[in-house]
Structure 1
Amino acid sequence: MITVKKHIILFFLCIASFAQAQYKFMMPKGKDKVTIPFELLNNLILIPVEVNGVEMSFLLDSGVNKPILFNLNPGDSLEIEQRERIQLRGLGSGSTISAVRARSNSFKIKNVEKIDLELFIILDEEINMSTRLGVPVHGIIGYDVFKDFIVEINYSNSKIKLYKPESYTYKSCRKCVDLPLTFRHSKPYIDVSVAIESGEEIPVKLLIDSGGSDALWLFEEEKLNINVPDKNFDDFLGKGLSGSIYGKRSRVKKFSMGGFSFKNAKVAFPDSSAIVYVKNFKERNGSIGGEILKRFKVVIDYGNKRIRLRKSRFYSDPFRYNMSGIELQHNGMRLVSEVVKRSTSDSSSPSGNGNPVGEVSIVFEHYNKFSLVKSFEVAEVREDSPAGYSGLIKGDVIISINGRYVHKYSLNRVTGMLEGKEGKKIRMKVNRNNVLLDFEFRLKEVL
């Protein structure tokens, strides 16, 4: 396995600040809207962003109020001005992490540009979403985009439209629902209701978090009867700035938002130690993530504190969860050897007396072809899961699943190979410390 060490080159330039700072993203002259294509990965929105002239990929995350940069490709260089060291704290049960606060950066999203934006740069290589999504992800941006535009997210065709607020007109829409938003620390919240286990609907205030891939997160609260259902399992929920996040997964009987409702929606209850940082807003009861949001065409209007929802083609998709117990990640490249067969032919020349021999000789040659291919490894194995009982462990490198070599596919597709109905047989070949091992298990319904 070959791993590449990432690095960042910082140039500190002592220059005068702009005479007139640009405080907003600006549309091209004469334009009222811009359309931006995005890639939908694990319910998350990935958009192209240019930072100080360097092309990157950022997650569009309504749950963050400052852009964060945490991963650069080998050899990338980025000019940074007016930088200072700070400590950041986020989700996870770990401690604070070191970061660099950089002022006066230029951001460009297609033709939309801002030339004076503050940015936080995290140098810790452990903070890296690229491995979990299987594509380069350099950072996160949120509030600075949402506050300057009316943002229309169409999950069905993977396009975002940014509109100038002053020129946007809401069209009459019988199938749409408009709901009010409230804000705290530049983040949007919505009042909805959940019926957890008893069937009683509980009003809750949830963060609209397009940067979360789950459907719902709820914070346990005895006084509000927000408790983990009896049917649940312990699981890895993700990684935050301050470390890994663990908790329990389950389902709620019903989740309602405006006139829309979902039965048996997936829910995660993060451990209290991982959410200490976000619990400083006591009214917050959890989050609505991408698995709910993608079921709608969403219009987010920060200026008018409003969100518009209309069903998308994903509206009736089932709420699936990981029945195998394996979390995969992309981990660099590995070297593979393949036996290739090559044939050559040779026609013999005429014989000495002028009569052609007329024979053709075909020779088959076999040779080894060496290639660097994507390496997918087991990042987490859930206890008491089918994969866990089979003997798979963290760090195993996946070679094939049900006879298909995984290096030929994207991480998203490989993860999909581990999904299916209860009872589906999964056969895996893995490399563990340069020893090839075979494992077999069946998917099992827990919830």
Structure 2
Amino acid sequence: MKKCICILFAYFFANSFLLAQNQFVVQGKKGVDKIHFQLINNLIVIPVSINGVELSFILDTGVSKPIIFNFLNSVDSLQIKNSETIFLRGLGEDKPVKALKSTNNIFKIGNAVNVNQDLYAIYNAKLNFAPRLGIPIHGIIGYDFFKDLIVEVHYGRQFIKVINPTDFNNNKCKKCDVLPLEFFNNKPYLNINVTLNGRDVPVKLLIDSGGSDSLWLFEDEMLNIQVVNNYFYDFLGHGLSGTIYGKRSKVESVSVGRFVFNNANVAFPDAKSINHVKHFKGRNGSLAGNILKRFNLIFDYHNKRVLFKKSRYYKDDFSYNKSGIELMHDGLRLVTQKHRSIRQARVITTNVDDSTPVINNQVDYKLVLKPAYSISELREKSPAYNAGLKVGDIILVINNKKVEEFTLQEIMQKFYGKAGELIKIKIDRNGTELKYQFYLESLLN
């Protein structure tokens, strides 16, 4: 009996010691857990519990400390404590954003727990990814999660598997291509090759699962990293420090280990938007979600490596937005919907004992709240721009179907179709309904 008590005490002490450290540990005997995620616009959205509050985070290899924003507009909701004010700077041309650094927070992702996690809370209403993804997004998490665990990302089946390093089987992925990682400021970098303007160029790229594009390259004439003539200027995204614009183009090929992608999308962000991130002079850009999703990945930060294996997205086309429209979730609107009710009546004849039941289908109408999708960005001289659409227009109908039948991502996907496809749109502009149509246009040869 005493021996049993001692063993239990030792087990409890060992687990308590692990959880007391500033690191994630997968609880349970096997040291493994599977967590399902949503793949939205090539981004991984996972459930995260912070101090007992359930939230949704983007799993972003491009950040070090967890950042939380616009969650409940209340420090008390998450019981954020031990905070100090700091300023964070990211992509974009705006000024650094104000944040609170907080310590001793309890993070739980599946069965992976850290009882002493730092986080940065940003209270800036402009910094909100939810309208552009169509679902609530409360924050982003990266290095602090990856550094403590082996993280398998199964894009094809949309789940991640987290494993305590001591429980990981190194030989489990025999068909994987293993590539070494380099780290700078707690961010992972990968050396790959691109073929651009007829030249093979070795590049060092940040692995950025928090980016939805395929590839970003920083223009550098000395390194032959530049776009010559086959490009168009476009909105690229939003960063911590503002909106990012740049040139969109194609590269002849991208080689990630033994895997080669031809005619892949590439973007060249404006120099002013990336001044802050170019402090690491060896960095030439980012490898982002539209290429990463073509693999199932195993991140092994302990051994500074990442393992690649083809996913079901491997052969997907590299399409791009041929309309010029960017949409966002813009609150709610009242929509009239049909509601069919079944009512039973009795038809009475002259004989009181002879009555026939009759089923009467009656259509009622009801008002329901549905998401409103408005145009947030509109590329100049694009098909939608030339047709007469404007920023702020609320989309009501697309290709003869009401938008409430679709998610935000399903609507956006219609703008990535083949050149020449007809898009018909009905919009609400300041209370007036208008109809437009245009054809998708290819800008890259």
Once the two structures are superposed, the pairs formed by residues 357-436 of structure 1 within 5 Å of their partners are 368-436=365-433
Residue aligning to 1:146: 146
Q: For the residues of structure 2 that align with 1:295 and 1:350, how far apart are their CA atoms?
A: 71
Q: For the residues of structure 2 that align with 1:115 and 1:409, how far apart are their CA atoms?
A: 40
Distance 1:355 1:124, change over 3 A: closer
Distance 1:339 1:41, change over 3 A: closer
Render the CA deviation track for 1:350-395: whole Å, top value 9, x for unaligned: 54xx566868889887754211111111111111211111111111
Q: CA deviation at 1:333?
A: 0.6
TM-score, length-scaled by structure 1: 0.90
Equivalent residue letter for 1:106? I
Q: For the residues of structure 2 that align with 1:116 and 1:371, how far apart are their CA atoms?
A: 44
Alignment partner of 1:428: what SS? strand
Equivalent residue letter for 1:406? V
Alignment partner of 1:82: what SS? coil
Alignment partner of 1:65: what SS? coil
Point out where structure 2 has 5 or more consecutive residues left out of the alignment: 1-16
Q: For the residues of structure 2 that align with 1:424 and 1:326, how far apart are their CA atoms?
A: 15
Of 393-402 and 67-76, more deviation after overlay is shown by: 67-76
1:445 aligned onto 2:434 = no
Equivalent residue letter for 1:370? L
Equivalent residue letter for 2:377? E
Residue aligning to 1:292: 291
Alignment partner of 1:80: what SS? coil
Q: CA deviation at 1:196?
A: 1.1
Distance 1:69 1:349, change over 3 A: same
Is the 2:30–2:167 contact (alpha carbons within 8 Å) kept by the matching residues of 1?
no
Is the 2:112–2:162 contact (alpha carbons within 8 Å) kept by the matching residues of 1?
no
Is the 2:25–2:149 contact (alpha carbons within 8 Å) kept by the matching residues of 1?
no
Q: For the residues of structure 2 that align with 1:31 and 1:168, how far apart are their CA atoms?
A: 10
Alignment partner of 2:413: what SS? helix
Residue aligning to 1:267: 266
Residue aligning to 2:179: 179
Equivalent residue letter for 1:233? F
Is the 1:401–1:417 contact (alpha carbons within 8 Å) kept by the matching residues of 2?
no
Residue aligning to 2:55: 56
Distance 1:361 1:277, change over 3 A: same
Q: For the residues of structure 2 that align with 1:425 and 1:105, how far apart are their CA atoms?
A: 51
Task: Number of aligned residue pairs: give it.
Answer: 426
Distance 1:355 1:185, change over 3 A: closer
Distance 1:363 1:242, change over 3 A: same
Residue aligning to 1:330: 329
Residue aligning to 2:10: none
Q: CA deviation at 1:413?
A: 1.3
Q: For the residues of structure 2 that align with 1:361 and 1:28, how far apart are their CA atoms?
A: 62
Alignment partner of 2:412: what SS? helix
Equivalent residue letter for 1:292? I
1:232 aligned onto 2:231 = yes
Residue aligning to 1:41: 40
Is the 2:25–2:164 contact (alpha carbons within 8 Å) kept by the matching residues of 1?
no
Of 174-183 and 110-119, more deviation after overlay is shown by: 174-183
Distance 1:73 1:409, change over 3 A: farther
Q: For the residues of structure 2 that align with 1:62 and 1:39, how far apart are their CA atoms?
A: 16
Once the two structures are superposed, the pairs formed by residues 91-110 of structure 1 within 5 Å of their partners are 91-110=91-110
Q: For the residues of structure 1 that align with 2:28 and 2:341, how far apart are their CA atoms?
A: 59
Distance 1:275 1:350, change over 3 A: same
Q: CA deviation at 1:22?
A: 2.2
Is the 1:91–1:278 contact (alpha carbons within 8 Å) kept by the matching residues of 2?
yes
Q: For the residues of structure 1 that align with 2:174 and 2:362, how far apart are their CA atoms?
A: 69
Q: CA deviation at 1:174?
A: 5.2
Equivalent residue letter for 1:205? K
Distance 1:361 1:261, change over 3 A: closer
Residue aligning to 2:14: none
Q: For the residues of structure 2 that align with 1:149 and 1:359, how far apart are their CA atoms?
A: 71
The structure with the largest helix share of the pair is 2
Q: For the residues of structure 2 that align with 1:104 and 1:250, how far apart are their CA atoms?
A: 45
Q: For the residues of structure 2 that align with 1:179 and 1:362, how far apart are their CA atoms?
A: 69
Distance 1:293 1:357, change over 3 A: same
Render the CA deviation track for 1:67-113: whole Å, top value 9, x for unaligned: 00013258892211111222111100111111111111110001111
Equivalent residue letter for 1:91? L
The alignment's C-alpha RMSD in Å is: 2.1
Distance 1:341 1:285, change over 3 A: same
Distance 1:153 1:338, change over 3 A: closer
Equivalent residue letter for 1:186? N
Q: CA deviation at 1:32?
A: 2.2
Render the CA deviation track for 1:3-48: whole Å, top value 9, x for unaligned: xxxxxxxxxxxxxxx9x95211122142221111111111111111
Distance 1:180 1:391, change over 3 A: same
Distance 1:429 1:31, change over 3 A: same
1:303 aligned onto 2:302 = yes
Distance 1:34 1:338, change over 3 A: closer
Once the two structures are superposed, the pairs formed by residues 193-204 of structure 1 within 5 Å of their partners are 193-197=193-197, 199-204=198-203
Residue aligning to 2:5: none
Equivalent residue letter for 1:110? G
Is the 1:376–1:407 contact (alpha carbons within 8 Å) kept by the matching residues of 2?
no
Of 74-83 and 108-117, more deviation after overlay is shown by: 74-83
Q: CA deviation at 1:172?
A: 6.3
